[in-house]
A and B are shown apart, each in its own frame.
Chain A
Amino acid sequence: MPEITNLEPAASATPAAIAVTLPEAPPAKPNSGLFKRNPPIAGEAEAIERAKNGDAEAFSKLYGLHKRRVYTLCLRMLGNVSEAEDMTQEAFLHLFRKLGSFRGESAFSTWLHRLTVNLVLMHLRKKGLNLVSLEETINPSEEDAPKRDFGSRDPQLAGSVDRVALERAVASLPPGYRMVFVLHDVEGFEHNEIATMLDCSTGNSKSQLHKARLKLRELLRQTDQRSQTDQSTQPAQMKEAVQ
C-alpha cells in the first residue's frame, strides 16, 4: 500500500471524462460541490500572510474562520466526536507547519479542506482501515449491507427527513460507505477524485456510493417508522398517565 507522505493538497484535479454507457446522454449538471463555494473571506488573505510569519494572533483568526468547517468534515468522515476533535487539532497543527507552502493557487479553504481529507485518510490507514481495496476490505457485513427491498412500496422519504436524522444515519454507515458518501454527496468531490484519494477505481467509488445511499434509505425509513410509531402511541401513553 502506498504511504501518504505529502499531505499538501495538489492543485484541483481536472475531472476526467466519465465513461457514458448510454447513447445521447444529456450534458451532466455541474457538480455543486467544493470548488464553487469558496468566496473570499474578509481579512483572510492578510491573516494568512501574517500567520506565515509566525503571528499567533493571525493564526488564531484562521482557526476561528475555519474551525467549524474542518471539524464538521472530520466528524462526518469519522463519525466520532473524540476522533474528529483529535483530527481537527492535527489539521491545524499541520496547517501551522505547512502554511508557508500555500501559494494561493486555489482558495485557502479548498487547500485546507484537501489537507484535512488527506490527514483523515492517513489516520484511517494507520488505524488499519485499508482503503486501497474498498470492496474487499471495508465492505460491510451482511448485517450492515443494504437490504434488497427494491420493489417495496413504503411511503417515500421526500420531505420526511430532517437534517439531524440524516447526520445520525450518515454517522452510522459502515466506514467505507460513509467515506465515499461524505466525499461525493456532501463535499462534492467527483468519482475520479475520490478514486485517486482512496486509491480505488471510479467504478468502485460509484458502487460504494450507491450502496451507501441504499443503506441510508433503509436507516432513514426505520427512523421515520419509529417516529410515526412514537406519535401514534403518545396519545395512549398520555391517557394512561392521566388515569
Chain B
Amino acid sequence: MTQTPVKMTTENPTPDTMTLAEFEQRLPEFFATGTGSISDDPRLQAFLEANPDSAALVRDLEYIAAAASDLLKKEDIEPSDSVWQNIQNELKSALPDGPEPEPVA
C-alpha cells in the first residue's frame, strides 16, 4: 500500500518543527504507527536529540511497553483450589456419574 504524505499544516507540523506540546499531543500516534520504536525512528531523531527530556520520556514509555509484553511469558499465577472445586460442583449436575477428576497440573 502506498502511503500518501500528509499535508503539513499548523495542526500537523513536521517532526522538525514540532513544539514540545505538539510532540506530546502526537505521541500516542507515533507509538501506534511507524517502527514501534520511537527512539530509533529516523524521522524523530533530530527532535529527540534537541529535547533530551522528551527522549527520556519516550525511553521510559518504551521500557514500560517492553516490560509489559514480557509479562505475557509469566503466566504462573494459579487460582486457588476452590475454583476447580466450584467448577466440579457445577458440572456434577451436567456430567454422568463417575469418579471425580483431579485437575492435571
Contact = CB atoms under 8 A, between A and B. Distances in A.
Contacts, number: 174
Contact of B101 (A18, A57, A67, A69): A57
Nearest to B80: A85
| Interface range, A side | 35 or more
A216 interface: yes
Contact of B59 (A71, A72, A156): A156
Contacts of A188: 69, 72
Interface string A183-225: 0011110010000000000000011011001101100100000
A24 B14 CA distance: 12
A187 B84 CA distance: 24
B17 interface: no
Nearest to A69: B75
Main secondary structure of the interface of A (DSSP, over half): helix
Contact of B5 (A24, A92, A166, A170): A24
A158 B59 contact: yes
Contacts of B28: 206-207, 209-210
A181 to B, nearest CB: 7
Contacts of A153: 52-53, 56
A47 to B, nearest CB: 9
Interface in A69-97: 69, 71-72, 75-76, 84-85, 88-89, 92-93, 96
A206 B31 contact: yes
14 contacts: A20-B33, A25-B34, A67-B83, A67-B103, A68-B77, A85-B82, A88-B83, A92-B87, A153-B53, A156-B63, A163-B70, A163-B74, A166-B71, A217-B60
Interface of B: 1, 3, 5-6, 12, 15, 20, 24, 26-37, 41-43, 52-54, 56-57, 59-61, 63-65, 67-72, 74-80, 82-84, 86-87, 90-91, 94-96, 98, 100-105
Top 4 closest A-B pairs, CB basis?
A: A64-B104, A23-B5, A60-B101, A185-B68
